[in-house]
Every structure is written in structure tokens, then in C-alpha cells.
Amino acid sequence: MQIDVLTLFPDMFAPLTQSLIGKAVEDGLLNLNLIDFRQYAHDKHQHVDDTPYGGGAGMLLKPDPLFEAMDAINEQDARSKRVILLDPAGRQFNQAAADELAHEDHLVFICGHYEGYDERIRTLVTDEFSLGDFVMTGGEIASMAMIDATARLLPGVLGNSVSPETDSFQNGLLEYPQYTRPAEYRGMAVPEVLQNGNHQLINRWRLKESLRRTYLRRPDLLEGLELDKDAQKLLREVRGEEDSKAAAARLNLDND
């Protein structure tokens, strides 16, 4: 996969040279090209921003440096590409979006700064994304998060090809609890079902605990999620168990 990033601060992307993403770059699974689009400014001070027409607070990114930077990218690679603008008004990025982008050959990220963009810049863009309902000083950190979430799904990036299949959100649910050695630590024991070697029971336990964690922490994820009959049965069990726990807790509180 080819990823180009248009940014005023390419040094901020140093974390992507580390860990699995850095290794993916070294192994040729991912080509990451950081472009300081200030080099496409035309005045001697290399200004990439200007005041908005009609007045208002802050400065806007000018269109010409970004258009010319995109021209240079297209001259080097004429293939179609997804051009992503990081913007608070964009579609919220999630695991499904990461999986979607991981199937592309070429991504371009545009990282904004200042008050916003000249509206004409949006004509370059195929997608607008946001990490959530908050505002950051620029698009660099958001684009790094998106690149990390997307690149780890590329074939060969993770050591275990099954790992992405069990990630939180990959199947619409939060991931089940996991344990490693020792079997008991400070009075906390690994569930017996995980130690008995019965993979059918282990898979059932994992699905049930995944449903439980989602029900307790992100019930919104269950809305509209299509579950098979076995999962529906387990979810009913989870709801019954958790409702009983809540009722017992209320009773203890009343007795106190």
C-alpha cells in the first residue's frame, strides 16, 4: 500500500517508524511518503494560510499549495486513490472504515491546521473523516491513528493472521477478556473453562463474555447487530445474569 501524507509537520510522524508499522515499512508492505506542502507555497516566506474573505477569526489554508502537492502526487502515480481530509465535520472513523481503507492501493491524507480550509480544497477529496466530537490543533495525530488502524490490517503486518479477526469491533462486539500465566495471581484466578482444553466450551465462553462486555460497556453496538440463534441465546443469558446482579446490589444497598 502507498500512503502519502500532506502535512506541515512531517517530523510528528516519527511514531510510525516504530513497532509493527515501522517494520511493515521496512519489509516493503507499506510505503509511507511524508510531504511538507509548504514547499509548494509561492512567496518567499512560504505562507500556506491567509485571512478569510468576509472577515472572521483565524486563518485558512490556501488552496494552491495543496492543489499543487496533489498534482505532484498524481504525476508520480496516475492510479485512482482515496484522498482523505481530516475534519471535525467528517464521517466518524471506526473499525469498519479501517477495514475498508485497508483494501485500497493508495491513500492520501490531508492534515489541516489553523482555523480551517479554503472550501475549494474539498474538491480534491474523496473522503472526510473525524476521530470524534472534539477539535484538535491539526490533523496529524488523527491521521496517524487512522494509518495505524488501517495498516495493521494489511496482509503480513501482524505476525498472527487470525489476530485482526478477534479484535474489538471487528465483528461488531468488544473483545472478550484474555489471560496468560500464572493461572492464579494475588487471589485472582484464570477462569477454569480456559484451562480445560475444550475448545468448543472456550469459544462459547469467549462469545458470551464478548457479548457481556459489549452489553455493559457499549450497548449501542448491539442495536441493529445481526446475531445468530446461539449468540441471541447467550445475550439473553447475559442480560438475565446482569439484571440479577443489579437487583442484588440494589437490595444490599437498601439493607445498608
139 is in an annotated binding site: no
Assess whether the previous peptide bond of 182 is cis (omega < 30° from 0).
yes
C-alpha to C-alpha distance for 64 and 121, rounded to whole angstroms: 9
Residues 132 and 191 in one domain: no
Residues 119 and 209 in one domain: no
Please report which helix (H) or strand (E) contains residue 31, including its range.
Answer: strand 31-36
Written as tens digits, the pLDDT of the chain (256 aa) is 999 999 999 999 999 999 999 999 999 999 999 999 999 998 888 999 999 999 888 899 999 999 999 999 999 999 999 999 999 889 999 999 999 999 999 999 999 887 789 999 999 999 999 999 998 999 999 999 999 999 999 999 997 664 555 555 768 899 999 999 999 999 999 999 999 999 999 999 999 999 999 999 999 999 989 999 999 999 999 999 999 999 999 988 888 7
For the domain that residue 118 is a member of, what is the CATH number?
3.40.1280.10
99 is catalytic: no
167 is catalytic: yes
For the chain, how many structural domains are there in total?
A: 2
165 is catalytic: no
Among the options 36, 127, 148, 167, which is catalytic?
A: 167
Range of the domain at 201: 184-255
User: Is position 79 within any domain?
Assistant: yes
Look at phi and psi of residue 237 and say left if phi exceeds 0, alpha if psi is from -120 to 50, else beta.
alpha
User: Is position 178 within any domain?
Assistant: no
Among the options 10, 52, 63, 88, which is catalytic?
A: 88
Residues 7 and 128 in one domain: yes
